Amino acid sequence: MTIALPARAKLNLDLEVVGRTDDGFHQLRTTFQAIDLHDLLEIEAADETTLTTSGFDLATTNNSVIAAHDALEQAATRKLPARIVLHKRIPPGSGMGGASSDAAATLRSLKIMFGLDLDLTPIATQLGSDVPFFLTGGRAHAEGRGEKVAPLPFRPGWFAIAWPGIELLTADVYRAWDEVKGEPPNHLRRAAEHVEPRLMDFAKKLGAGWQMTGSGSAFFKQTDSEQEGKEAIARLDGWTAVSRAVPHWA
């Protein structure tokens, strides 16, 4: 049996950094929206666990898929050997949550394949702040480090997306926020531009109505239709997409 699941991307429709805790973690408030842009994860039972990838280049060791597999094995206290294929379509380091979504899809797929009676939420929280959101997707309000997720009613919508081909590390952007702080609608944009000044030129070329998602480096613009989204990216060079909002899947 082969299980294939889409690992969908997300956009942060807003993002406010509200401070830091005593242990150094940044606290935020944000609205997540899952979109139909996705990686594709295929898993089947095997004698030993392997991972192969296609699309955007990724390391096949110490990545979010292997981390999720190992964490689930530990929680299940048994081996879960699987052949895993990841078709990577979400740009890495773009702020669209690709790695977190891949981890959540891995947990969900393995739970189904091996018939595990486990609550995935604590495991997802251990793996990363955004991973719990990707267990259910849709539209949601999140607080804390992003792990405190409250579902919101679905709102259909279309989004034009542009990525400058720059990979940003979330930790670097949050460290920069400590220096430069931020402002609505995304408190991390100024910090991302501090880390990578080329983002300022990229944003200027995009024009009005675009905002950064997550810790960057992708930008999006909400549109009224797919056609309007295509028109918004028609003049742009580099990686672009038009994607629609998707509701909760679990």
Model-level pTM? 0.96
Distance from C-alpha of 246 to C-alpha of 250, rounded to nearest angstrom: 12
135-193 per-position pLDDT tens digit: 999 999 999 989 899 999 999 999 999 999 999 999 999 999 999 999 999 999 999 99
Q: Is residue 249 part of a domain?
A: no
Contact 72, 110 (CB under 8 A): yes
Residue 226 and residue 204 share a domain: yes
Indicate the residue among 151, 166, 199 that finishes a domain.
151
pLDDT single digits (tens) 193-205: 999 999 999 999 9
Q: Which of 125, 151, 177 is the last residue of a domain?
A: 151
- Catalytic-labelled residue, pool 57, 130, 178, 181: 130
Is position 36 annotated as part of the catalytic site?
no
**Together in a domain, 108 and 164:** no
Per annotation, catalytic residue among 10, 88, 111, 221: 10
At 25 the pLDDT is 86
The verdict on residue 222 lying in a domain is yes
130 among known catalytic residues: yes
Last residue of a domain, one of 124, 151, 178: 151
Q: Is the pLDDT of residue 43 over 90?
A: yes
Is residue 46 assigned to a domain?
A: yes
Confidence of residue 88 (pLDDT cuts 50, 70, 90): very high
Is 138 a domain residue? yes
| 136 and 183 in a common domain | no
User: Does residue 134 have a pLDDT over 70?
Assistant: yes
The span from the CA of 68 to the CA of 106, in Å, is 6
